[in-house]
Structure 1
Amino acid sequence: MSTQRGSALKSRSKRDMEERLAFIRLYVKWLKENPDEVFSQQVKLVNSFLKAARDFPLTKEEYLRPKGELGK
């Protein structure tokens, strides 16, 4: 791996981590500002997303290949 490519990957990785942390901070703030009933609705929604992902008939690679997201 070239130094330039390694630097770009580190930079992207750092940016991704910063974005994740910003999202977590935002979500925690939201949790603190909303009643438990709202949170329980969110839990149901997230659980339904997780179930749908588990039940999805394609692998990650099968899904991404037609979209051109995977290299040849």
Structure 2
Amino acid sequence: MNTQKSSASKFPSKRDMEERLAFIRLYVKWLKENPDEVFSQQVKLVNSFLKAARDFPLTKEEYLRLKGELEK
């Protein structure tokens, strides 16, 4: 029995996988066309988003309930 999953099985559909690959190609192109300083600024921005998400005072369930997207 093959225990490895194909990379396609991580995506709900072939379209989702194709969109993800298109984004990755676009981002790699952008990285190659811009100086390291620009990429460094992007890293700082992404890291600040991750820190804000970690420090967010609500759980995802509490947040969705607050938005009315999750029943009690």
Q: TM-score, normalised by structure 1?
A: 0.71
Partner residue in 2 for 1:7 = none
Partner residue in 2 for 1:18 = 18
| Structure 1 residues 28-48: Cα deviation after superposition (integer angstroms, max 9, x where no partner) | 110011000100000000000
Q: TM-score, normalised by structure 2?
A: 0.71
For structure 2, the 5+ residue unaligned runs are 1-10
Partner residue in 2 for 1:27 = 27
**Distance apart, 1:58 and its partner CA:** 0.6
After superposition, the Cα gap between the structure-2 partners of 1:40 and 1:23, relative to the gap in structure 1 and judged at 3 Å, is same
- Code of the residue aligned with 2:59 in structure 1: it is T
* Mapped partners of 2:25, 2:46: distance in 1: 18
For structure 1, the 5+ residue unaligned runs are 1-11
After superposition, the Cα gap between the structure-2 partners of 1:69 and 1:17, relative to the gap in structure 1 and judged at 3 Å, is farther
* Equivalent residues, number: 61
CA RMSD of aligned residues (A): 1.9
Greater helix content: 1
Partner residue in 2 for 1:57 = 57
